Amino acid sequence: MPKPNEAYLQELLEAVNNSPFLKHLFMRLESISLDNATVLLVISECHLQPFQIVHGGVLATLIDTATFWASFLRIPENAGLVNIDLKLNYLKTASNGILNANGHCIKAGRTLSYAEATVKNENGELMAHGTSTLLILPGKGIRLKSRKFLDGEHHLTDELIL
């Protein structure tokens, strides 16, 4: 497996954290490494449903985001990902504080990746757990100034570059 380029990772964190969707939800991709990602969310009033607890869709989004980024460094530089199956269990409610989603890529293939994530509150209590199947999309990669991998490899084949 090619080694991720640290400069690329820094550019990626900046690009992701400045994207409209993450900013809209007050989420932040805190870290990304091979097979792992951490996403943080400070609970705000906009995350609460009428019963004053975090909406399940917020927890699902955290799991979706953490599994996506945990799988991202296993795919070619020119490829993207899309979630094709998301399963989760809600285990505890939250009304305030910080939620921490930790994603882990369990299996990375040429076409599909499989990942899991946990969401915990700031006290380390498990709020939700989920799994995700992600489809690799050749030609849909994020273009940044730096190369994704240090050795110039694209993980699968150079033929995928458009």
Q: Which domains does the chain have, with CATH numbers?
A: 6-141 (3.10.129.10)
Polymer length in residues for the chain: 162
Q: Is a pLDDT exceeding 60 seen at residue 161? A: no
The overall average pLDDT reported for the chain is 93
Q: In angstroms, rounded to a whole number, what is the distance separating the alpha carbons of residues 114 and 104?
A: 9
Give yes or no for a contact between 161 and 153, defined as CB atoms under 8 angstroms apart.
Answer: no
User: What is the pTM assigned to this prediction?
Assistant: 0.91
- pLDDT, position 152: 56
**Could you tell me where the beta strands, DSSP code E, fall in 95-149?**
98-108, 112-121, 126-137
- For residue 25 the two structure tokens come to 């939800």
Give yes or no for a contact between 138 and 79, defined as CB atoms under 8 angstroms apart.
Answer: yes
Q: Is a pLDDT exceeding 50 seen at residue 139? A: yes
- pLDDT, position 71: 98
Q: Is a pLDDT exceeding 70 seen at residue 153? A: no
| pLDDT one-digit tens code per residue, 78-117 | 999 999 999 999 999 999 999 999 999 999 999 999 999 9
- For residue 144 the two structure tokens come to 């940044």
Q: Which of 117-121, 151-155, 156-160 has the highest mean pLDDT?
A: 117-121
- pLDDT, position 160: 34
| pLDDT one-digit tens code per residue, 9-18 | 999 999 999 9
Task: Show Cβ contacts of residue 110 under 8 Å, excluding neighbours closer than 6 positions.
Answer: 136, 156
